[in-house]
A and B are shown apart, each in its own frame.
Chain A
Amino acid sequence: DSGVTQTPKHLITATGQRVTLRCSPRSGDLSVYWYQQSLDQGLQFLIQYYNGEERAKGNILERFSAQQFPDLHSELNLSSLELGDSALYFCASSVAATTYGYTFGSGTRLTVV
């Protein structure tokens, strides 16, 4: 157990739907990162939050949004889902915004049918 908790582990949904992925960072970590791992795109950085504020943004689609709450957990919202959104979504956390290394959760496997 890495200390970073992601729920749910698996999610199957239909095209056009909306889902929310949840991440609880490791205790004491203030920064949360979201990554998407798909077969054709590899691991792509989506977005980073630090202590509730957006810190960096990657190639995140407009249909996707995220936030970090006062208790530091984060949610990634994916809407108007398409087949191509099927992927493994990872959350990672670190103590500081620019910490040397960080810890990944075990991921949420999203399948859009």
Chain B
Amino acid sequence: AQTVTQSQPEMSVQEAETVTLSCTYDTSESDYYLFWYKQPPSRQMILVIRQEAYKQQNATENRFSVNFQKAAKSFSLKISDSQLGDAAMYFCAYRSASGSGNTGKLIFGQGTTLQVKP
């Protein structure tokens, strides 16, 4: 079974600085997707960025980028020029893309709470 681990329960960053959130996962599959979701105090789950495992190029969405290391099974999120609105809990998630596991089900990590200091 696949697992996702976020080893940093809490992180803090100064406004305008850069922060990196860590995520590792365990799988025997070669085809899958990885996601970062943001959950602000409103509790809404918001998709931040996604990565297909077969793509070597790291995904980027404005100030958000990932460092995808497939061999190391690592998927970190970098937030540049941090803003107060980035304060939230961030979840890393895995989705199988092959065989009977390809249902759309997401497996989430435990989350990292990000504090942004003015």
Contact = CB atoms under 8 A, between A and B. Distances in A.
Interface of A: 2, 31, 33, 35, 42-45, 48, 55-56, 58, 88, 90, 92, 94, 97-104, 106-107, 109
Contacts of B44: 2, 104, 106-107
B108 interface: yes
26 contacts: A35-B106, A42-B108, A42-B110, A42-B111, A43-B106, A44-B108, A45-B106, A55-B103, A56-B103, A88-B43, A92-B45, A94-B104, A97-B103, A98-B102, A98-B103, A98-B104, A99-B104, A100-B50, A101-B35, A104-B45, A104-B46, A106-B42, A106-B44, A107-B43, A107-B44, A109-B43
Pick the most buried of B45, B104, B108: most chain A CB atoms within 10 A of its CB: B104
B19 interface: no
Q: Chain A contact residues: over half helix, strand or loop, or mixed?
A: strand
Contacts of B16: none
B68 interface: no
Contacts of A97: 103-104
